[in-house]
Amino acid sequence: MTATLPRVASLLEAGVRDGLHRGAQLEVRFAKGDRSPVSLAVGEARDGVPMRADTLLPWFSCTKAVTAVAVAQLWERGAFHLDDRVGQHVPGFGANGKGDVTVRHLLTHTAGFPNAVGQRDDRRWSWDEVSATIAASPLEPGWVPGRRAAYHAVTAFHVLGDVVQRLDGRPFADYVSEEVFEPLDMADAWVALPHRRFESYGDRMGRMHAADGSVVHGLDDAGSFAKPLPSGSGIGPMADLVKLYEALLGGGAREGERILRPQTVEAMTARHRVGMRDETFGHVIDWGLGLMVNSFHHRGRPSSYGYGEHASMRAFGHGGSQSSLAFADPVAGVAVALCCNGMPGEPKNHARTQPVVTALYEELGLTP
């Protein structure tokens, strides 16, 4: 449906010409059934292979929204309370000053151990090695949980994955597949892609490229997708990821399948962290329970991984490292998933995605 969004398509195609990415996928869904879905694919998935709507692409930290939903399901079922100390559910976690860290602190990135494990370490180490390293790590100097904020790229959501496994009993990847992906018909979405499925997808497997055009290390073979990472191992087409936000836009249900109660979605998307400067991003960002809530008003422009110039105050979602963005806007009645398969650095990615989202609202007539 390129013709329906000519400005958006032009911006994404310009990114290909400028070397920001090889290709891009965009999916848009609406809360009301009288508007047709929008699907757009431009450029190449990898050398010589056109990008298609069913191409699988890495989600990176967009995966955190999936983990947040899994945690919210267990909370809804009474398995824990948000202000439970994490050590009540993950033995050994409370050591080295982390005894007062709660589940809410993990979800709002106010826990205090953002750098205990690096983003490459969690791909190299086993699940248990990551858990043990986090358990042995202290809080940042002078950190009181809940009183400071810094985006925890890996650590907090790995611990949340531990919480899910320990409270439910199933491996994290199995829980997500059975409780989130299957009910929402996210047939090609994975947080742990088996080797055999990697091979069977063939040319449908996209590649993520670095600023110099090379394939990002570790994402060019089956093994790089096989390990579940609650903070960033999601993979699938944007046509699947957008279904998660359709469900959240629908109060927890999509096409008759319910994964959360409306009250739980309202709690997830409310502002639990307000007006706090994020020490990772360097500016103020409000946060729900695992989701970034639109923070445009703090600076009069989109925050990092923001939702453009026109999204309502109630818009919520999450971004993926230098490449992807997915969100829902209950006021506009729209769910969006976007991925560009090039990682040009944070500033260039921000300069790329925000005009696309702004143009999307304008072309669809969603501006206030």
Question: Do residues 214 and 274 both lie within one domain?
Answer: yes
In the chain, which residues have pLDDT < 70?
1-3, 119-120
Number of domains in the chain: 2
User: Reduced to 3 states, what is the DSSP secondary structure of residue 204?
Assistant: helix
Question: Do residues 37 and 82 both lie within one domain?
Answer: no
The predicted pLDDT at position 100 comes to 98
pLDDT digits (tens, 9 = 90+) for 291-306: 999 999 999 999 999 9
Enter the DSSP assignment of 216.
P
The predicted pLDDT at position 211 comes to 87
Question: Do residues 224 and 279 both lie within one domain?
Answer: yes
Dihedrals φ, ψ of 338, to 5°?
-135, 135
The predicted pLDDT at position 329 comes to 98
The predicted pLDDT at position 124 comes to 83
Q: How far apart are the C-alpha atoms of 86 and 92, rounded to whole Å?
A: 10
Residue 133 lies in a domain: yes
The predicted pLDDT at position 2 comes to 41
Question: Do residues 294 and 193 both lie within one domain?
Answer: yes
Residue 54 lies in a domain: yes
By the 10 Å C-beta count (0-12 exposed, 13-18 middle, 19+ buried), 199 is classed as: exposed
Domain boundary residue, one of 168, 197, 227: 168
Question: Do residues 248 and 328 both lie within one domain?
Answer: yes
pLDDT digits (tens, 9 = 90+) for 96-144: 999 999 999 999 999 999 999 876 677 888 999 999 999 999 999 999 9
* CATH number of 227's domain: 3.40.710.10
Question: Do residues 53 and 195 both lie within one domain?
Answer: yes
* Domain interval for residue 264: 2-63+185-363
The predicted pLDDT at position 3 comes to 43
Question: Do residues 107 and 233 both lie within one domain?
Answer: no
User: Reduced to 3 states, what is the DSSP secondary structure of residue 101?
Assistant: coil
Question: Do residues 280 and 207 both lie within one domain?
Answer: yes
Question: Do residues 11 and 116 both lie within one domain?
Answer: no
∠ CA 54-56-59, rounded to 5°: 130
